[in-house]
Structure 1
Amino acid sequence: MNNNFNFSPKMKILWIKMRLPFPLTAGTDHVSYNLIKSVAEKHDVTLISHSRSEGSEAIEGLNRFGVKTILVDFPALNGLLMKTFNRLKREFLLFFCLIPREVTDNTSKSIEKVIKRKLKEEEFDLVQIEYWFAGKYRKYIKKSLSSLIVHDAFFITAEQNVKFQKGLKSKIVGFIEYLSIKRYELKIIKSFDHVLFISKHDAEIFKKYIPGLNSAKILPLGFNYPVWDENEKEIENNTLIFVGSMMAYFNVDAMLYFCNDVLPSIEKEVPEVKLYIVGENPQNEIKSLASRGNIIVTGSVTDVKDFIKMSEVYVAPLRIGTGIKTKIIEAMACAKAIVTTSVGVQGLEFENGENIIVADDPADFANNVIELLRNPLKRKKLSENARKLFYQHYHLTSVKSKIQDVYSSLISE
C-alpha cells in the first residue's frame, strides 16, 4: 500500500463505474447511487461512467449532491459484421486467453482515454472503481490511492452455475468461464490498496483465497425507499411475485426451478394462486411459462414496487449467486412476507421465521408459501417485522454515517 500522501479531511475522489447509476431501475443502481450520494456529502466526487439514454437526467440528479459527472458514449456495434466480429472476439479471448466475457464486454477505449486524461489533468486522493470487471483500469492509477468496491464473489457464482448446466458442452463452457473469472477476479483484487466489500460473507470467501487480505473493509448498504401505505393499492389474494432482470442467468434458474419444482405443490393446495414474474428482457424459456395461465410475465415495468405492493408473498427461490440480494431488501421496505433460500439471505441481517423465511428444499418452500397464503395473521407479522428490519439495518439514514466513516478511515491509514 502506498502511504506517501498528505491528506486533508476532505478528499478528491475519482469514481469509475461502467454503468451509470441513474435513473434508479436496478437494485445495483440504488446501491451505487446511495453510496456516491453519501460520500459526496463529505468529499469532492467526480464520476466517470458510460452514458445511457437518460444521461441528462442522471447529471441533474447527481449534480444535486455536488457530484461532477462525466459521461462517455459506449461505442455502438452497428451492422451484422461488427456484431459477429465482436462475438467471435469475446469467445476467442475467453477460450484462448482466459479473459472473462464480462471484461471484454466492459472494455472501452473511449472511457479509457477519459480516465487517463482526467488522472493527468487533476490530482485525486482516491480513485474508486466499482466491480471487478472494471479493475483493468487500475493500471492507470499511479499517484492516487486505489479502491475497489466488490459487490459479490462472482467466481463462486460462476462455479455454482456449472452445477446447474445441462449437457456436457454447457458444463465445459461454464467451467472455462469459472476458471477465467476466478483467475481474473483474484488477481485484480490483489492489485488494489483498499478493497471494500458489500457483504461480510463475500469478504470471508476472498480471505480464504487471498491470505493476508488486510485491505478488506465492509461497506454498509443504505437505501432510501419511500414509506408505503398498504391502503394505497389493493392487494390481490393468493398472489406471488418474483422480481429480477431476466438477463441474469441466476434469476432465470430461480424461476424455472420454482415453476417446475415448487409451484405445482402450491397449486394443489391453493388452485387460484397466481405468480407475477417481473423483470426486463425475459427470454423464450421464461415467456413460455405464461402459457400455464396463472403465471404473468410482465417484462420491463415502470415501477416494480407497484407489483410488489399488490402481492401477498414475495418469493426469491435463488439457487445461484453471491453478494447481497437487493431484491430482498426492497421487499422488506415494501413490508412483504418473504420466502427465500439460503442463497437469497447471504450477507443479510435476519432471523429465520421472524422477519424472513428461508427454505432450500422444494417441498419446504412450497409449504411455507401455502401457510402464508392461508394465514393472514402470520403473513402480516412477518411483513411488519421485515419492514422493521429494513429500517434498523438498511435505511440510508441508519447507515450513511457508517459509509462516511469507512471512507474517512481510508485516508487515515
Structure 2
Amino acid sequence: MSNKEPLLFLCHRIPFPPNKGDKIRSFNILKQLAGQYDIYLAAFVDDDNDWQYERDLQPYCKEMSLLPLNPLWGKVRGLLGMLLGKPISLPYFFSSQLQQWVTAKIRSAGIKKAFVYSSAMAQYIEKATLDKRVADFVDVDSDKWRQYAEKTANPLMKLVYRWEYRTLAAYEKKITAAFDAVTLVSEDEAGFFREQLTAELAAKVDAFPNGVDGEFFNPDTCGPRPIADNYLVFTGAMDYWANVDAVLWFVEHVWPVIHKQHPALKFAIVGGNPTDKVKALARRENILVTGRVEDIRPYIKHAQLAVAPLRIARGIQNKVLEAMAMQQAVVMTSMAAEGIRLPANQQTLVTDEADLFAASCLEMLSQPDKIAALGQENREWIARHYQWQAVVEKLAAVLK
C-alpha cells in the first residue's frame, strides 16, 4: 500500500508523448509530481495516434481516465456554449463522463489536493471540497485570442475571437479567486496577468518556467543527418495558428533574401499536421515540409541554424529551449524570446523586422565558428537554468 498522498491531475490533453509545447510541460510536471504523490490523472485524447501512449503513462499514475475528444464536436459544443454566455473553451473540454469520474475519485480515494493544467479543466473542480486547488494556466490564454482577433481579416472570426478573449479573461479571474494558487510559465507572463487583478488576487499568482530534458535533447546522442543539403529549421505543431503564421511570414518576407545569397540552402518546416497553407509552401524552391517525424532532434542538430519567427505567442517557446539544448544558435523574434532568460550573445539574434531577421541569419551563416561557439554557450546555459527537476520544485512547494 502506498504511503503517498493522492493528487488529482486534470489535463486538457493526454500528457504524452512530450513532443509539443503543452505536452512537454504537462508530462514533465506529471513525472516530477509522481515521485511525491499517487496521481489520479484525467485527460482527453484528441488524436487517435495518441491512444498507444496510455501504457507509457501507467508508471506515473495510480489510476487514470482518458476520454476521446472529437475536435469537430468540441467546436460545435463550444459555439453552442456561446449562447449561454460561456467561453468556447469550457464546453469544448467538458464531458459529463469525466465529471462523474472526477467526483467519484475525489470521494473514493480521499483526494484533498488537485492540480489543473489549463484553465478550461478547472470547471471539473469548481464545486469540489478540497484542501488545495492549484491551476497552471501556463500562459494568459485569453490574451492569445485577443492577438488572434487583431491578426485575422475574417470579420466573423474576429467576432468569435473577441468573444473568447473577453469571456475567457473573466473566467481566468474567477478561477484565480476560487483557487489557492495560479501559476504561469514565466515572470513576464505572471506580471502581465497580475496587472489585470486586484492586489489580493495578484498575490495568488506565481511563475515557474519550462525546463528541458537535457539527457534527451543531447546533440551527442541523437540520430544521423535527416536532410542531405544544408538547411535552416523551424520546429512545431504545424496546425497551430501561431506556428503557421510564423512560417508564412518567414517564407514571404525573410526567406527570399536568404535564398538569394545561399541558393543551395533549404528551409525545413518540421512538425505534424501541416495545414494546407503550410503544405503549399513545399511547392516553392528549396522549402521542405516534413509533416510528423519520429524524432525532431536530428533535424535540430544538423541544421545550420534554427529560426523562431513567431509573431503571435504567449508564455515560453519550447522550440527555442530545445534548440538551445541541442547546441543550436537561434534567430528569433521578441515574441519567441518572451519569458526566456537568454545569454548575452544569443540576445543579439532577437529581432522583429524582416530585413534585420534576414541579416542576422546571413551574418551567422557566414560565420560557422560563431554558430558553434554560441551553440555551446546555449547548451551550457540551458543546463544551468532550465532543468525540469529544479523548476518543478517551485510548483511542489505551492502544492504543499
With the length of structure 1 as denominator, give the TM-score of the two structures: 0.87
Aligned to 2:251: 259
1:99 offset after TM fit, Å?
2.4
1:280 offset after TM fit, Å?
1.6
1:254 offset after TM fit, Å?
0.6
Paired residue secondary structure (1:293): coil
Aligned residue among 1, 10, 13 for 2:7: 13
Aligned residue among 31, 34, 39 for 1:40: 34
Contact conserved, 1:350 with 1:356, CA < 8 A, in 2? no
1:69 offset after TM fit, Å?
3.3
1:140 offset after TM fit, Å?
3.5
Contact conserved, 2:74 with 2:92, CA < 8 A, in 1? no
1:110 offset after TM fit, Å?
1.4
Letter in 2 for 1:386: N
Aligned residue among 152, 157, 171 for 2:144: 157
1:190 offset after TM fit, Å?
2.4
1:73 offset after TM fit, Å?
2.5
1:281 offset after TM fit, Å?
1.4
Structure 1 range deviating more: 270-279 or 217-226: 217-226
Task: Work out the CA distance in 2 between the residues paired with 1:47 and 1:368.
Answer: 45
Letter in 2 for 1:186: K
Aligned residue among 54, 57, 61 for 1:58: 54
Aligned to 2:189: 202
Task: Work out the CA distance in 2 between the residues paired with 1:73 and 1:342.
Answer: 37
Aligned residue among 361, 369, 373 for 2:365: 373
Aligned to 1:93: 81
Residue deviations 1:352-373, cap 9 Å, x none? 5346721111111000011111
With the length of structure 2 as denominator, give the TM-score of the two structures: 0.90
Letter in 1 for 2:68: F
Task: Work out the CA distance in 1 between the residues paired with 2:222 and 2:117.
Answer: 39
1:139 offset after TM fit, Å?
1.7
Residue deviations 1:229-256, cap 9 Å, x none? 2895348554111111122111111111
**Does structure 1 residue 336 correspond to structure 2 residue 328?**
yes
Paired residue secondary structure (1:297): strand
1:209 offset after TM fit, Å?
0.6
Structure 1 range deviating more: 169-178 or 321-330: 169-178
**Does structure 1 residue 72 correspond to structure 2 residue 63?**
no
Paired residue secondary structure (1:46): strand
**Does structure 1 residue 184 correspond to structure 2 residue 175?**
no
Aligned to 1:383: 375
The verdict on how the C-alpha distance between 1:113 and 1:260 changes in structure 2, with shifts beyond 3 A counting, is same
Paired residue secondary structure (2:274): coil
Aligned to 1:216: 205
1:167 offset after TM fit, Å?
4.2
1:337 offset after TM fit, Å?
1.3
Aligned to 1:4: none
The verdict on how the C-alpha distance between 1:241 and 1:127 changes in structure 2, with shifts beyond 3 A counting, is same
Letter in 2 for 1:137: Y
Task: Work out the CA distance in 2 between the residues paired with 1:313 and 1:190.
Answer: 44
1:219 offset after TM fit, Å?
2.5
Aligned to 1:6: none
1:90 offset after TM fit, Å?
2.6
Contact conserved, 1:355 with 1:383, CA < 8 A, in 2? no
The verdict on how the C-alpha distance between 1:73 and 1:264 changes in structure 2, with shifts beyond 3 A counting, is same
Structure 1 residue runs of 5 or longer lacking an equivalent are 1-8, 78-82
Paired residue secondary structure (1:150): strand
Structure 1 range deviating more: 48-57 or 211-220: 48-57
1:145 offset after TM fit, Å?
1.2
Contact conserved, 2:74 with 2:93, CA < 8 A, in 1? no
Aligned to 1:24: 18
Q: In the TM superposition, what are the counterparts of 1:161-310 in structure 2 within 5 Å?
A: 161-212=148-199, 213-225=202-214, 226=216, 227-229=218-220, 233-234=224-225, 238-310=230-302
The verdict on how the C-alpha distance between 1:41 and 1:355 changes in structure 2, with shifts beyond 3 A counting, is farther
Task: Work out the CA distance in 2 between the residues paired with 1:35 and 1:90.
Answer: 28
Contact conserved, 1:35 with 1:222, CA < 8 A, in 2? no
1:216 offset after TM fit, Å?
1.8
The verdict on how the C-alpha distance between 1:145 and 1:55 changes in structure 2, with shifts beyond 3 A counting, is same
Residue deviations 1:142-180, cap 9 Å, x none? 133111012111112111222221243443333223223
Task: Work out the CA distance in 2 between the residues paired with 1:376 and 1:271.
Answer: 17
Contact conserved, 1:15 with 1:47, CA < 8 A, in 2? yes
RMSD of aligned Cα (Å): 2.4
Task: Work out the CA distance in 2 between the residues paired with 1:18 and 1:364.
Answer: 38
Task: Work out the CA distance in 1 between the residues paired with 2:238 and 2:149.
Answer: 18
Contact conserved, 2:223 with 2:298, CA < 8 A, in 1? no
Letter in 2 for 1:362: A
Letter in 1 for 2:80: F
Paired residue secondary structure (2:345): coil
Letter in 2 for 1:39: L
Task: Work out the CA distance in 2 between the residues paired with 1:324 and 1:243.
Answer: 14
1:71 offset after TM fit, Å?
2.4
Identity of aligned pairs, percent? Answer: 27
1:348 offset after TM fit, Å?
0.8
Task: Work out the CA distance in 2 between the residues paired with 1:54 and 1:230.
Answer: 25
Aligned to 1:319: 311
Residue deviations 1:377-406, cap 9 Å, x none? 11111211111111111123xxx2452354
Structure 2 residue runs of 5 or longer lacking an equivalent are none
The verdict on how the C-alpha distance between 1:207 and 1:290 changes in structure 2, with shifts beyond 3 A counting, is same
